[in-house]
Amino acid sequence: MARSSRKQEILQAALACFTESGVDGTTIEMIRDRSGASIGSLYHHFGNRERIIAALYLEGIGEYAALLEAGLIDTLDAEACVKLFVTSYIDWVVANPDWARFVLHNRGRVEAGELGDQLREVNRSHGERIGAVLRRHREAGAFKAIPGECFVSVVIGPAQDMARNWLAGRSKRPLADHRDLLAQIAWDSVRA
């Protein structure tokens, strides 16, 4: 988490607690103790524990989206664009393994919670921005005829599965070692 503010300090403390004790095993008091924030500060910034969970989740997906979108420029060719999806994701996971693990395991909880609509709006907005870049390449014939709702799964699915295995300790090699291979597999899967 790049910015340093009281809110960010609380989120960092929450992530550390969730990593050590699990989401269900972490109490608001544990987050308060870890962050050094008063209970009033916690409630001022978030309102309750579920909102801390949602804020941490939204911040995480926002960081990955920002990393991806920073590289998605209009002049990027189709291959570089597809590979960027994979390399950005892997780079973010490698740089933020605890946060990535948290994001991978808590989407359903956030979707079902009081900030589920906000998550859906963030995803919709992000999808529109990347969709605009992909649309140009699709219309130019750079991609196979893959239904739109399948495209991102085909591109990022293998990298997400490999990331899950790495985060769970089931992969013997560092995730970054597979970065270029997974990017090439993504491109080979969708190119016309």
Q: Is 147 helix (H, G, I), strand (E, B) or coil?
A: coil
Determine the pLDDT at residue 4.
Answer: 54
Q: How far apart are CA 189 and CA 192, in angstroms?
A: 9
Determine the pLDDT at residue 132.
Answer: 87
Determine the pLDDT at residue 1.
Answer: 44
Q: How far apart are CA 78 and CA 54, in angstroms?
A: 33
Asked whether the beta carbons of 90 and 178 are under 8 A apart, the reply is: yes
- Give the pLDDT means over successive 10-residue stretches in the chain (192 positions): 73 97 96 94 92 95 90 86 96 97 95 94 90 91 92 95 96 96 98 97
Q: How far apart are CA 32 and CA 120, in angstroms?
A: 29
CATH topology of domain 1-47: Arc Repressor Mutant, subunit A (1.10.10)
Q: What are the boundaries of each domain within the chain?
A: 1-47, 57-190
Q: Domain spanning 57-190: which superfamily?
A: Tetracycline Repressor, domain 2 (1.10.357.10)
Determine the pLDDT at residue 133.
Answer: 86
Widest distance between CA atoms in the chain? 57
Distances (CA, A) of 44 to 18, 37, 49, 116: 20, 11, 12, 20
Asked whether the beta carbons of 53 and 21 are under 8 A apart, the reply is: no
- The pTM assigned to this predicted structure is 0.90
